Structures are given as C-alpha cells and as structure tokens.
A and B are shown apart, each in its own frame.
Chain A
Amino acid sequence: MKPAPFRYERPSSLEEALRALEEAGDEGRVLAGGQSLVPMLNMRLAAPSVLVDVNAISGLDEIATEGEGEAEGEGEGDRRYLVVGALARQRTLERSALAASCCPVLPECLSVVGHVPTRNRGTVGGSIAHADPAGELPVALLALGGEVEVAGPDGVRRIGADDLFVGFLTTSLGAGEMLVRCRFPARRGAVGSGFAEVAPRHGDFAFAIACASVALDESGRIAGARLALGAVADRPLLVPAAGDVLGGSRGAEPALRAAAAAAQAAVDPADSLHAPAGYRRHLVGVLAGRALRQAVAKASEQLTKGGSR
C-alpha cells in the first residue's frame, strides 16, 4: 500500500500555489492535511501526477474574528464572522477559545472528527473542500450559514455554504481555484446551536448527522432556524423546510417534532454498509429533533442571560 509516483510541489506563497495548480490542470491535487487524500494515495484510489503541498504557505492558518464589533454581542446590525484560514488544523480550531465563544458548535463537532492525531494534521479548509457528505465540518458550515473564500486565477471570491456543496465529494470551486478561508457567522444574541450524530464508534463516519442553529427574537419566538444533515445524501444537506416550520414558533415540542418530520421527508438515504436506509431515515428524525432541541435550549439560555440583540 504505497503511493504511485507523482511530482511534488511545495509552494511558499498562494500565488505560487495557484500557478502550480493551473499548470497541473486536471492532474494536480492540493495536499493540505492529507488525512483523506494520503489514504487514497496509499491505496492507489487516487494517483494525481502532481501534488501541490500547500502547507508551507504562511498566513493561511489564522483563527480570528472579522466584522463589526470587537467583542461578542457588539456591532448590532452587521454580521460578525469567525474566520478560519484554510490551513488551520482541526485540532487548533477545536481548542480555540475564540471558536468556543463565537461558534461553540464547532469544537463540539470537531471532537468527533476522526481522532486527535488526524485532527492535529487535518485542516479545516481541507475538510470542507473535500466535501464528504459525512463530514461534520461541512454540515456545521451549512447549519451556521457560513461561507468560504476561494482564490483562483481570477482573484478571490466568496461562496456561500448553500452554494458550495454540489455533489458527492464535489464543490462549486472552479478549476485552478483553492479554498483559502472559511467564515463562520459568530454567535450573537439569543442564538443557539445543536449537534447530534450516531456513529458506530467514537470518531467514525456517522450513520447520520444533524446540526442546527436557532435565533430567537426578544419575545422568545424563533426568528430563524437552520438545520443541516450529514451522511444521508450525496452532499451535506440543508433542510429549509425545517426552518420554515419552526419560524415564529417558540420551539416547543410539537413544532420541533414537525421540523424533525420535515427533515425526514427531505431525505431519501440509501442503505449503507452498517445501517439500512430505513434506519437512517428514522435517525434523521431523531437527530434533527435532538439538535434543534439543544439549539432552542441554548438560544433560550442566551435570551435569559443577555436578551436578544
């Protein structure tokens, strides 16, 4: 189980990297953390003739906030983002105090992404660009309504999470483009998130994943809710119907159950190796309910603590 030969490029700047990718064309692959790619190289399921190792590019591993207001809760009106450089390691984000305060669901879901040694090396950007439908980070990006920044021959552009995942292991990134930053909306006001999955073992790809984000207005009604699912379709899946069902409600059990039912109705999972389709559909209902329930509870906590802003 050894990789096939390839040409190895190790650019030290983004420009060099983009140039190398452009030259390599279809034959090139970006090597970031390598925790998904290298197993495929070793098994010779992938054999790119050029490997562009982007790990030497500096400045792509920052974890910072961006947008109005320096501290949580300030800067009403404008969105504030947790900005994560594509090369930030998953483990770094998992342990980041900034992430814990801005997007607490990220450390939570990262704790079940593989294992510490793979998270020490695996990157946040790599995981999202890989677009594994069973990946936790893509589901979280979708639930939070984040976006990514991609650099390419024509400069830098942003792609919203809703438009990013277009198929199995496929994103809307163009040829020669590279993901450089992920932008997660920072928590502000009476916002809560929830995450639930069932996997055969700790750190495994899950049978199904649900991640939810809920915002309450001053009166405690749901002003907005996003529910994303993983591992049950060819891509991470947003369930707008769940948000529609919940909008304006107080997030009580009947509404949550209706939203979970909407989630179930939105999926048509296939049988997988260790779980039949029917079970996974059943699980979507259970996990959507659990994630939304958590999100509502946490949002309510915030409302009690500081009121809606």
Chain B
Amino acid sequence: MRRIEVDVNGSRHVRHVDERRLLSDFLRHDLGLRGTKVGCEHGVCGACTVLLDGAAVRSCLLLAVQVDGCRVDTVEGLAGPEGLHPLQEALHRHHGLQCGYCTAGILMTAVEMAGEAGPHSVEEIKQRLSGHICRCTGYAGIVAALSEVVGS
C-alpha cells in the first residue's frame, strides 16, 4: 500500500492504495466517482478516459499510485452550478448519446480539445473520436456536437 494525494475535480483526496490498483478502479470504487466507465481495460475503447493534468488519458492504463501529486478531472466535474458544460449541452442537442456508457470518456477527449487552439476541422474531430468506441450512435451526432463547440 502507498499513500497518495490526488486532486480530483478540485477536491483533495488522501488515500492508501494497493500498488496494482488501476486508476479507473480507484476513481470508481475508492472515491465513488462512478461516472467514469470501464469498457475494455486494455486501452482501446476509451470509455475510461479522464484528464490527467489536463491531458486525456486512459484511466485503465494507469496505476492509481502514478497520479500521486497530480490533478485528475472526470465527468463529474464538468457541469457547474449554472448547468451543463457546453459540450454536454451540445451532445444533448445533437442526440450524441444513446446508452451513455461511452459518453464520459468522449466528453473528456472533447474537453481536452476545447482547451487547445482551435478551431478543429471535422476530419480532426473524427480522428480524435476514433479513440473512442461508441456502439450506439454511429458517431454522427457526436461529431456534430463537437463540431459545434470546438469546430470551425
């Protein structure tokens, strides 16, 4: 077990974790932040994507001990008291989610894009989305939503 100190969505957490514990399990089961989903645990599906110091990463491919001293952002931190994040709003407007299981990961990739110099072309948006598997929507609504917020 190791002691780690992590800032998650602006809240400081101090926990003792097993060295082999995956960040995805730490977030979901130790901190109770179950908005981050687990879909493959080998880094392909993208459902577990979170921001680590602002960069989108697979939380299933990180050990919780590796984020000691870092800032992690998850889907729970997106909506503010004034309402949904513009990207959440856009996904809603464009029917960019069905079962909603891949949505948290897609949102975190989109938030990363929103923080970069834009605008992003549709082709770029599709390439960024290609790291996320959605089996429900066929992606068109997601591409439209992201285009509206981070596109040209």
Contact = CB atoms under 8 A, between A and B. Distances in A.
Nearest to B108: A117
A10 B20 contact: no
Given A8-B2, A38-B62, A121-B62, A115 B22 contact: no
A116 B128 contact: yes
Interface stretch (B42-50, B71-79, B95-103): B42-50
A10 B65 contact: yes
B61 A38 contact: yes
A201 interface: yes
A202 B49 CA distance: 18
Contact of B42 (A1, A5, A10, A121): A1
Nearest to A118: B43
Interface of A, helix, strand, loop or mixed by DSSP: loop
Contact of A115 (B20, B46, B55, B60): B46
Contacts of B42: 1, 39, 42-43
B19 A203 contact: no
Contact of A91 (B22, B49, B55): B55
B37 interface: no
Nearest to A3: B20
B102 to A, nearest CB: 13
B151 interface: no
B35 interface: no
A7 to B, nearest CB: 7
Contacts of B63: 8, 34, 38, 53
Contacts of B66: 34, 53, 55
Interface string A1-37: 1111111101000000000000000000000001100
B123 to A, nearest CB: 10
Given A39-B42, A42-B41, A55-B66, A203 B22 contact: no
Contact of A118 (B20, B41, B58): B58
Interface in B75-124: 109, 112
A117 B109 contact: yes
Contacts of B56: 116-117, 120
Interface in A55-81: 55
Interface size class of A (residues with CB under 8 A): 20 to 34
Nearest to A40: B42
Contacts of B41: 1, 39, 42
Contacts of B2: 8
A114 interface: yes
Contacts of A91: 55
B57 interface: yes
A279 B121 CA distance: 33
B127 interface: yes
Interface string B124-144: 000110110000000000000
Given A5-B20, A7-B19, A202 B55 contact: no
A55 B67 CA distance: 11
A137 B55 CA distance: 21
B108 to A, nearest CB: 8
Contacts of A5: 19-20
CB-CB nearest 3 A-B residue pairs: A115-B131, A8-B19, A39-B42
Interface of A: 1-8, 10, 34-35, 38-39, 41-43, 51, 53, 55, 91, 111, 114-118, 120-121, 201-203
28 contacts: A2-B20, A3-B20, A3-B22, A34-B62, A34-B66, A35-B58, A35-B61, A39-B42, A42-B41, A53-B65, A53-B66, A114-B43, A115-B46, A115-B130, A115-B131, A116-B131, A117-B46, A117-B49, A117-B56, A117-B57, A117-B109, A117-B131, A118-B58, A118-B61, A118-B131, A120-B55, A121-B55, A121-B62
Interface of B: 2, 19-20, 22, 25, 41-43, 46, 49, 52, 55-58, 60-63, 65-66, 109, 112, 127-128, 130-131
Given A117-B131, A120-B56, 4 more contacts: A1-B42, A38-B62, A42-B61, A116-B56
